[in-house]
Protein backbone atom coordinates (compact mmCIF):
# COMPACT_ATOMS: atom_id res chain seq x y z
CA UNK A 1 0.00 0.00 0.00
CA UNK A 2 1.35 3.44 -0.93
CA UNK A 3 1.13 5.89 1.98
CA UNK A 4 1.28 9.60 1.32
CA UNK A 5 2.92 11.68 4.04
CA UNK A 6 1.86 15.30 4.16
CA UNK A 7 -0.85 17.64 5.32
CA UNK A 8 -3.54 14.96 4.88
CA UNK A 9 -1.95 12.57 7.39
CA UNK A 10 -0.62 13.67 10.84
CA UNK A 11 2.97 12.67 11.62
CA UNK A 12 1.95 10.63 14.67
CA UNK A 13 -0.02 8.29 12.42
CA UNK A 14 3.27 6.91 11.09
CA UNK A 15 5.28 6.76 14.31
CA UNK A 16 5.03 3.01 14.63
CA UNK A 17 4.64 0.34 11.98
CA UNK A 18 4.36 -3.30 12.83
CA UNK A 19 7.17 -5.20 11.09
CA UNK A 20 4.85 -8.16 10.77
CA UNK A 21 1.78 -6.50 9.28
CA UNK A 22 3.11 -3.08 8.18
CA UNK A 23 -0.21 -1.50 9.21
CA UNK A 24 -0.57 2.12 10.27
CA UNK A 25 -1.05 2.51 14.02
CA UNK A 26 -4.43 4.02 14.85
CA UNK A 27 -3.94 7.41 16.50
CA UNK A 28 -5.70 8.55 19.67
CA UNK A 29 -9.25 9.92 19.51
CA UNK A 30 -8.21 13.60 19.15
CA UNK A 31 -5.94 12.64 16.27
CA UNK A 32 -8.72 10.69 14.59
CA UNK A 33 -11.08 13.65 14.77
CA UNK A 34 -8.52 15.81 12.95
CA UNK A 35 -8.45 13.44 9.94
CA UNK A 36 -10.66 13.89 6.93
CA UNK A 37 -13.36 11.39 6.05
CA UNK A 38 -11.36 10.06 3.11
CA UNK A 39 -8.37 9.48 5.38
CA UNK A 40 -10.51 7.74 7.97
CA UNK A 41 -11.94 5.45 5.32
CA UNK A 42 -8.45 4.64 4.05
CA UNK A 43 -7.41 3.79 7.60
CA UNK A 44 -10.46 1.54 7.99
CA UNK A 45 -9.61 -0.22 4.75
CA UNK A 46 -6.01 -0.69 5.93
CA UNK A 47 -7.24 -2.38 9.11
CA UNK A 48 -9.85 -4.39 7.21
CA UNK A 49 -12.94 -2.91 8.87
CA UNK A 50 -16.06 -1.41 7.33
CA UNK A 51 -15.29 1.95 5.75
CA UNK A 52 -18.84 3.23 5.29
CA UNK A 53 -20.69 5.74 7.44
CA UNK A 54 -20.36 9.29 8.67
CA UNK A 55 -17.18 10.75 10.17
CA UNK A 56 -18.39 10.20 13.75
CA UNK A 57 -19.16 6.58 12.98
CA UNK A 58 -15.73 6.04 11.43
CA UNK A 59 -13.96 7.68 14.42
CA UNK A 60 -15.90 5.52 16.88
CA UNK A 61 -15.16 2.39 14.87
CA UNK A 62 -11.42 3.08 14.67
CA UNK A 63 -11.23 4.13 18.31
CA UNK A 64 -12.89 0.91 19.39
CA UNK A 65 -10.51 -1.05 17.17
CA UNK A 66 -7.51 0.75 18.70
CA UNK A 67 -8.65 0.03 22.25
CA UNK A 68 -9.34 -3.57 21.39
CA UNK A 69 -5.79 -3.99 20.03
CA UNK A 70 -4.24 -2.18 23.02
CA UNK A 71 -2.72 0.44 20.72
CA UNK A 72 -0.48 -1.89 18.70
CA UNK A 73 -1.06 -4.92 16.52
CA UNK A 74 2.21 -6.39 17.88
CA UNK A 75 0.51 -7.06 21.22
CA UNK A 76 -2.15 -9.30 19.75
CA UNK A 77 -2.00 -12.86 21.06
CA UNK A 78 -0.07 -15.09 18.70
CA UNK A 79 -2.08 -17.73 16.90
CA UNK A 80 -1.48 -21.31 17.93
CA UNK A 81 0.43 -23.46 15.44
CA UNK A 82 -1.85 -25.62 13.29
CA UNK A 83 -0.60 -28.84 14.86
CA UNK A 84 -1.14 -27.59 18.42
CA UNK A 85 -4.54 -26.20 17.50
CA UNK A 86 -5.55 -29.53 16.04
CA UNK A 87 -4.50 -31.35 19.22
CA UNK A 88 -6.45 -28.91 21.38
CA UNK A 89 -9.53 -29.01 19.17
CA UNK A 90 -9.37 -25.28 18.29
CA UNK A 91 -10.86 -24.12 15.01
CA UNK A 92 -8.24 -22.68 12.66
CA UNK A 93 -8.54 -21.26 9.14
CA UNK A 94 -6.78 -24.38 7.88
CA UNK A 95 -9.33 -26.67 9.57
CA UNK A 96 -12.38 -24.69 8.44
CA UNK A 97 -13.92 -25.41 5.01
CA UNK A 98 -13.71 -22.35 2.81
CA UNK A 99 -16.00 -20.88 0.22
CA UNK A 100 -14.80 -19.53 -3.09
CA UNK A 101 -12.69 -16.48 -2.35
CA UNK A 102 -11.11 -17.90 0.81
CA UNK A 103 -13.93 -16.96 3.24
CA UNK A 104 -15.47 -19.57 5.58
CA UNK A 105 -19.12 -20.47 4.84
CA UNK A 106 -21.91 -18.84 6.81
CA UNK A 107 -23.47 -20.81 9.61
CA UNK A 108 -27.09 -21.87 9.27
CA UNK A 109 -28.16 -19.51 12.04
CA UNK A 110 -26.42 -16.49 10.55
CA UNK A 111 -27.76 -17.28 7.10
CA UNK A 112 -31.30 -17.50 8.50
CA UNK A 113 -30.92 -14.14 10.27
CA UNK A 114 -29.66 -12.52 7.08
CA UNK A 115 -32.58 -13.90 5.05
CA UNK A 116 -35.13 -12.72 7.65
CA UNK A 117 -33.57 -9.28 7.66
CA UNK A 118 -33.69 -9.18 3.87
CA UNK A 119 -37.40 -10.12 3.87
CA UNK A 120 -38.16 -7.40 6.42
CA UNK A 121 -36.37 -4.80 4.28
CA UNK A 122 -38.19 -5.90 1.14
CA UNK A 123 -41.59 -5.89 2.87
CA UNK A 124 -40.95 -2.43 4.28
CA UNK A 125 -40.01 -1.13 0.83
CA UNK A 126 -43.11 -2.68 -0.78
CA UNK A 127 -45.44 -1.34 1.93
CA UNK A 128 -43.98 2.15 1.53
CA UNK A 129 -45.16 2.16 -2.10
CA UNK A 130 -48.61 0.65 -1.49
CA UNK A 131 -51.46 3.09 -2.07
CA UNK A 132 -53.60 3.84 0.97
CA UNK A 133 -57.42 3.67 0.70
CA UNK A 134 -57.81 6.74 2.94
CA UNK A 135 -55.70 8.85 0.57
CA UNK A 136 -57.77 7.66 -2.40
CA UNK A 137 -61.03 8.48 -0.62
CA UNK A 138 -59.95 11.86 0.80
CA UNK A 139 -59.16 13.12 -2.70
CA UNK A 140 -62.88 13.06 -3.57
CA UNK A 141 -64.55 13.35 -0.15
CA UNK A 142 -66.80 16.29 0.70
CA UNK A 143 -66.26 18.70 3.60
CA UNK A 144 -67.76 16.28 6.12
CA UNK A 145 -65.15 13.64 5.20
CA UNK A 146 -67.76 10.87 5.51
CA UNK A 147 -68.84 10.50 1.88
CA UNK A 148 -68.18 11.40 -1.73
CA UNK A 149 -70.79 13.85 -2.94
CA UNK A 150 -71.73 15.11 -6.38
CA UNK A 151 -68.68 17.38 -6.71
CA UNK A 152 -66.22 14.63 -5.78
CA UNK A 153 -68.05 12.12 -7.96
CA UNK A 154 -67.74 14.48 -10.93
CA UNK A 155 -63.99 14.76 -10.31
CA UNK A 156 -63.73 10.97 -10.11
CA UNK A 157 -65.50 10.75 -13.46
CA UNK A 158 -62.98 13.15 -15.03
CA UNK A 159 -60.06 11.24 -13.51
CA UNK A 160 -61.36 7.95 -14.90
CA UNK A 161 -61.46 9.63 -18.31
CA UNK A 162 -57.93 11.01 -17.92
CA UNK A 163 -59.22 14.58 -17.65
CA UNK A 164 -60.97 14.39 -21.04
CA UNK A 165 -64.46 15.89 -20.63
CA UNK A 166 -65.69 14.34 -23.88
CA UNK A 167 -64.50 10.86 -22.88
CA UNK A 168 -66.10 11.33 -19.47
CA UNK A 169 -69.53 11.31 -21.16
CA UNK A 170 -68.92 8.15 -23.19
CA UNK A 171 -69.98 4.56 -22.35
CA UNK A 172 -66.38 3.54 -21.54
CA UNK A 173 -66.39 5.82 -18.49
CA UNK A 174 -70.05 5.33 -17.59
CA UNK A 175 -69.65 1.56 -17.22
CA UNK A 176 -66.73 2.04 -14.81
CA UNK A 177 -68.78 4.43 -12.67
CA UNK A 178 -71.66 1.96 -12.57
CA UNK A 179 -69.34 -0.93 -11.70
CA UNK A 180 -67.63 0.98 -8.88
CA UNK A 181 -71.01 2.12 -7.53
CA UNK A 182 -72.17 -1.51 -7.56
CA UNK A 183 -69.10 -2.77 -5.71
CA UNK A 184 -69.30 0.10 -3.21
CA UNK A 185 -73.02 -0.26 -2.57
CA UNK A 186 -73.89 3.32 -3.49
CA UNK A 187 -77.38 4.36 -2.32
CA UNK A 188 -77.77 6.62 -5.37
CA UNK A 189 -75.75 7.60 -8.41
CA UNK A 190 -73.21 10.27 -7.52
CA UNK A 191 -72.89 9.42 -3.82
CA UNK A 192 -70.55 6.93 -2.08
CA UNK A 193 -70.09 6.51 1.66
CA UNK A 194 -66.62 6.17 3.18
CA UNK A 195 -67.35 2.70 4.51
CA UNK A 196 -68.78 1.57 1.16
CA UNK A 197 -65.80 3.03 -0.68
CA UNK A 198 -63.33 1.02 1.42
CA UNK A 199 -65.37 -2.18 1.12
CA UNK A 200 -65.55 -1.71 -2.63
CA UNK A 201 -61.79 -1.25 -2.91
CA UNK A 202 -61.24 -4.41 -0.87
CA UNK A 203 -63.63 -6.32 -3.14
CA UNK A 204 -61.88 -5.02 -6.26
CA UNK A 205 -58.41 -5.45 -4.66
CA UNK A 206 -57.47 -1.99 -5.92
CA UNK A 207 -56.40 0.94 -3.77
CA UNK A 208 -55.58 3.66 -6.28
CA UNK A 209 -57.03 5.14 -9.45
CA UNK A 210 -54.19 3.66 -11.51
CA UNK A 211 -54.96 0.16 -10.23
CA UNK A 212 -58.66 0.59 -11.02
CA UNK A 213 -57.87 1.63 -14.60
CA UNK A 214 -55.36 -1.20 -15.06
CA UNK A 215 -57.95 -3.82 -14.03
CA UNK A 216 -60.80 -2.57 -16.19
CA UNK A 217 -60.81 -5.70 -18.37
CA UNK A 218 -60.89 -7.95 -15.30
CA UNK A 219 -63.85 -6.05 -13.86
CA UNK A 220 -65.85 -6.40 -17.06
CA UNK A 221 -65.19 -10.15 -17.18
CA UNK A 222 -66.45 -10.48 -13.58
CA UNK A 223 -69.86 -9.21 -14.71
CA UNK A 224 -70.32 -12.27 -16.95
CA UNK A 225 -69.71 -14.92 -14.27
CA UNK A 226 -72.36 -17.25 -12.88
CA UNK A 227 -71.52 -18.69 -9.46
CA UNK A 228 -73.19 -21.12 -7.06
CA UNK A 229 -74.03 -20.21 -3.50
CA UNK A 230 -75.33 -22.37 -0.66
CA UNK A 231 -78.41 -20.94 1.00
CA UNK A 232 -80.14 -22.14 4.16
CA UNK A 233 -83.46 -23.87 3.44
CA UNK A 234 -85.20 -25.21 6.60
CA UNK A 235 -87.97 -26.85 4.56
CA UNK A 236 -85.50 -28.79 2.43
CA UNK A 237 -84.51 -32.36 3.25
CA UNK A 238 -80.83 -31.37 3.33
CA UNK A 239 -81.47 -28.12 5.18
CA UNK A 240 -79.88 -26.09 2.43
CA UNK A 241 -80.11 -25.47 -1.30
CA UNK A 242 -77.72 -24.40 -4.01
CA UNK A 243 -78.69 -21.35 -6.01
CA UNK A 244 -77.04 -19.84 -9.06
CA UNK A 245 -75.99 -16.22 -8.83
CA UNK A 246 -75.72 -14.36 -12.12
CA UNK A 247 -73.43 -11.37 -11.63
CA UNK A 248 -74.82 -9.60 -14.69
CA UNK A 249 -78.45 -9.85 -13.55
CA UNK A 250 -77.51 -8.57 -10.09
CA UNK A 251 -75.54 -5.69 -11.61
CA UNK A 252 -78.24 -4.84 -14.17
CA UNK A 253 -81.03 -4.68 -11.59
CA UNK A 254 -78.80 -2.68 -9.22
CA UNK A 255 -78.21 -0.06 -11.93
CA UNK A 256 -81.93 0.61 -12.24
CA UNK A 257 -82.29 1.13 -8.48
CA UNK A 258 -79.13 3.25 -8.45
CA UNK A 259 -80.36 5.62 -11.16
CA UNK A 260 -83.87 6.15 -9.79
CA UNK A 261 -84.53 9.57 -8.28
CA UNK A 262 -85.10 9.36 -4.55
CA UNK A 263 -88.65 8.19 -3.79
CA UNK A 264 -89.47 7.43 -7.46
CA UNK A 265 -90.05 4.17 -9.33
CA UNK A 266 -88.58 5.11 -12.67
CA UNK A 267 -85.35 6.25 -14.33
CA UNK A 268 -85.26 9.43 -16.35
CA UNK A 269 -84.95 8.75 -20.06
CA UNK A 270 -81.65 10.53 -20.69
CA UNK A 271 -79.87 8.83 -17.82
CA UNK A 272 -81.44 5.48 -18.64
CA UNK A 273 -80.34 5.63 -22.29
CA UNK A 274 -76.75 6.45 -21.29
CA UNK A 275 -76.66 3.58 -18.80
CA UNK A 276 -78.22 1.07 -21.23
CA UNK A 277 -75.70 1.97 -23.96
CA UNK A 278 -72.82 1.50 -21.53
CA UNK A 279 -74.08 -1.81 -20.15
CA UNK A 280 -74.97 -3.44 -23.46
CA UNK A 281 -71.90 -2.25 -25.36
CA UNK A 282 -69.02 -2.48 -22.88
CA UNK A 283 -69.45 -5.89 -21.21
CA UNK A 284 -67.93 -8.73 -23.29
CA UNK A 285 -70.38 -11.54 -23.94
CA UNK A 286 -73.36 -9.37 -22.99
CA UNK A 287 -73.57 -7.07 -25.98
CA UNK A 288 -76.91 -6.71 -27.73
CA UNK A 289 -77.45 -6.01 -31.45
CA UNK A 290 -80.68 -4.22 -30.55
CA UNK A 291 -79.37 -1.60 -28.16
CA UNK A 292 -78.91 1.14 -30.75
CA UNK A 293 -82.42 0.64 -32.12
CA UNK A 294 -83.85 0.57 -28.61
CA UNK A 295 -82.11 3.79 -27.59
CA UNK A 296 -83.10 5.50 -30.86
CA UNK A 297 -86.72 4.53 -30.26
CA UNK A 298 -86.62 5.95 -26.73
CA UNK A 299 -85.06 9.22 -27.88
CA UNK A 300 -87.49 9.68 -30.79
CA UNK A 301 -90.57 9.09 -28.65
CA UNK A 302 -91.15 12.54 -27.15
CA UNK A 303 -94.02 11.32 -24.99
CA UNK A 304 -91.76 8.87 -23.23
CA UNK A 305 -89.96 10.77 -20.48
CA UNK A 306 -88.90 7.87 -18.26
CA UNK A 307 -88.25 4.12 -18.12
CA UNK A 308 -89.96 1.94 -15.53
CA UNK A 309 -88.73 -1.30 -14.00
CA UNK A 310 -90.71 -3.60 -16.33
CA UNK A 311 -89.39 -1.85 -19.43
CA UNK A 312 -85.84 -1.95 -18.07
CA UNK A 313 -85.93 -5.66 -17.26
CA UNK A 314 -87.82 -6.72 -20.38
CA UNK A 315 -84.93 -5.70 -22.61
CA UNK A 316 -82.81 -8.55 -21.15
CA UNK A 317 -85.32 -11.19 -22.24
CA UNK A 318 -85.88 -9.41 -25.53
CA UNK A 319 -82.16 -9.51 -26.32
CA UNK A 320 -82.00 -13.24 -25.59
CA UNK A 321 -84.99 -14.23 -27.68
CA UNK A 322 -84.90 -11.92 -30.68
CA UNK A 323 -82.20 -12.47 -33.29
CA UNK A 324 -80.52 -9.90 -35.49
CA UNK A 325 -83.18 -9.84 -38.24
CA UNK A 326 -84.28 -6.77 -40.10
CA UNK A 327 -83.78 -3.37 -38.45
CA UNK A 328 -87.36 -2.25 -39.11
CA UNK A 329 -88.71 -5.49 -37.67
CA UNK A 330 -86.63 -5.01 -34.54
CA UNK A 331 -88.06 -1.51 -34.06
CA UNK A 332 -91.62 -2.89 -34.23
CA UNK A 333 -90.76 -5.59 -31.71
CA UNK A 334 -89.16 -3.06 -29.40
CA UNK A 335 -92.24 -0.87 -29.52
CA UNK A 336 -94.49 -3.81 -28.76
CA UNK A 337 -92.32 -4.78 -25.80
CA UNK A 338 -92.53 -1.28 -24.38
CA UNK A 339 -96.26 -1.02 -24.88
CA UNK A 340 -97.10 -4.42 -23.37
CA UNK A 341 -94.74 -4.38 -20.35
CA UNK A 342 -96.35 -1.48 -18.56
CA UNK A 343 -98.09 1.76 -19.27
CA UNK A 344 -95.76 4.39 -20.70
CA UNK A 345 -95.89 7.48 -18.56
CA UNK A 346 -96.06 10.73 -20.44
CA UNK A 347 -94.84 12.64 -17.41
CA UNK A 348 -92.84 11.46 -14.40
CA UNK A 349 -94.74 11.07 -11.15
Contacts 24+ apart (CB under 8 A), 319-324: 319/280, 319/288, 319/290, 319/291, 322/290, 324/289
The residue ranking higher by pLDDT, 39 or 99, is 39
CATH number of 11-75: 1.10.720
Asked if the domains 11-75 and 226-341 are classified in one and the same CATH topology, the answer is no
Q: Which of 181, 190, 186 shows the shortest CA–CA distance to 212?
A: 181
Give the tens place of pLDDT for each residue, 323-342.
665 554 555 565 555 555 54
Residues 6+ apart with CB under 8 A from 88: 80
Break the chain into its structural domains and give their ranges.
Answer: 11-75, 151-222, 226-341
pLDDT band at 208 (very low <50, low <70, confident <90, very high): very high
As separate numbers, helices (DSSP H) first and strands (DSSP E) second, the chain gives 17, 6
Q: d(Cα 315, Cα 313) in Å, to the nearest integer?
A: 5
Q: d(Cα 288, Cα 277) in Å, to the nearest integer?
A: 10
Q: What is the average pLDDT score of the chain?
A: 76
- In this structure, of 48-52, 81-85, 208-212, the range with the lowest mean pLDDT score is 81-85
CATH number of 151-222: 1.10.238
Q: d(Cα 23, Cα 17) in Å, to the nearest integer?
A: 6
* pLDDT for res 33: 84
CATH number of 226-341: 1.10.238.200
Residue burial 193-204, b: 16+ Cβ < 10 Å; e: rest: bbebbbebbeeb
- In this structure, of 37-41, 43-47, 95-99, 170-174, the range with the lowest mean pLDDT score is 95-99
Q: Which of 104, 87, 211 shows the shortest CA–CA distance to 160?
A: 211
Amino acid sequence: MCLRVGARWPAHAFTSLSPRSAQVVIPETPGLKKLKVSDLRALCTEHKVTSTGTKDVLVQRLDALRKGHAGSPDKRPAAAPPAAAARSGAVTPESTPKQRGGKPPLSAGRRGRMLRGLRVCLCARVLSHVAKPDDFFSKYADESGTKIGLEGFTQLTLDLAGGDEELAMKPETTIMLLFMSWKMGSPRFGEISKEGFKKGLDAMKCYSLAQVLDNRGLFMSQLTKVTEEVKSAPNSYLGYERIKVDAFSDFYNFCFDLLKPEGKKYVEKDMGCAALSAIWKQIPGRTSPHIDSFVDFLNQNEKLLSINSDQWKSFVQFSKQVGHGDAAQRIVLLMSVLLTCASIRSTPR
